[in-house]
Amino acid sequence: MECVNREKNFSECTCSYPGCERKGMCCECIRHHREAKEIPACLFPPEAEKTFDRSVRKFVEAMGS
Indicate whether 43 belongs to the interface with ligand SF4 (CB under 6 A).
no
Question: In whole angstroms, what is the distance from residue 3 CA to residue 27 CA?
Answer: 10
Count of chain residues binding ligand SF4 (CB under 6 A): 10
Kindly indicate which of the ranges 2-10, 12-20, 57-65 contains the residues binding ligand SF4, using the contact rule CB under 6 A. Answer: 12-20
Question: In whole angstroms, what is the distance from residue 61 CA to residue 2 CA?
Answer: 36
Q: Biggest alpha carbon distance in the chain?
A: 41
Give the residue, chosen from 5, 8, 10, 17, that forms a contact with ligand SF4 under the rule CB under 6 A.
17
Count CB-CB contacts under 10 A for residue 44: 21
Residue ranges in contact with ligand SF4 by CB under 6 A: 15, 17, 20, 22-23, 29, 32-33, 40-41
